[in-house]
A and B are shown apart, each in its own frame.
Chain A
């Protein structure tokens, strides 16, 4: 048992898949508990926060819609960084990270679109408009679906890694388009009100619950990403072991 969790001395030690699994084993339970605590606090704060003087109770949708949107973009940025890891250092863990993140990003993007649509109906009078912000996020969702398909299309993960990395990096151009779409084009969506150079324009009674919720959902993302990466390492290990076993069976039969 002493070998199950090798010591992590430096961060670069995590590049070793066995050490990474040991690290995930040690961190995931704590991260899961922390996620639940922060998310529960955030949602409680969201419902304790005052209603908006114009939007009334529907402003509560903001506390989940905005974190989903941020995470949809953060997840894609992490996948792009992983893609660089695949292309520059050809590191297998970078591809594991990209592949594991794609379904999580797709779910957050889908929830961002759905909650936005539900918020849009009472406030804008429509479920959907093909304007710059909504369309660019929808494109992001389609790219996630494409990457999920691409990373799972080939049996040999080494061969799909390069293609997935290149497609991911090309698609990264969409991230600044999403962020600045509300400034560059005329859109029904409101412009940035938290991440802006002159500081947030949201009142602190609503900003704090929003930030706690965003932290909670970010922790949820990292917990799920670590879990999914560990599962992907195990999946590849099973494939490698089956190959060894089949080769041994062949040698025995010959």
Chain B
């Protein structure tokens, strides 16, 4: 095998791994955001949230 293949494989796999990590972070983040919005829409407040403002 030529050496170019090894370099391409190393960079390709790394790019995939990092993209997967970023995507997982974004998906997790938007899911939690949606849950918070849903709870706030139902009028649920945190105990510490005395003012009742929908702060994030």
Contact = CB atoms under 8 A, between A and B. Distances in A.
Interface of A: 3-4, 18, 21, 25, 56-58, 60-61, 64-65, 68, 103-104, 107, 110-111, 114-115, 118-119, 121-122, 220, 224, 227-228, 230-231, 234-235, 237-238, 240-242, 244-245, 248
Which secondary structure dominates where chain A touches chain B? helix
B7 A231 contact: no
A245 B4 CA distance: 58
| The 4 residue pairs across chains A and B that have the minimum distance between CB atoms | A234-B32, A115-B10, A245-B44, A118-B10
Interface of B: 1, 3-4, 6-7, 9-11, 13-14, 17-18, 20-22, 24-26, 28-29, 32-33, 35-36, 39, 42, 44-47, 51, 53, 55-56
A111 B3 contact: no
Which secondary structure dominates where chain B touches chain A? helix
Nearest to B21: A107
Contact of B55 (A3, A65, A103, A241): A3
B12 to A, nearest CB: 10
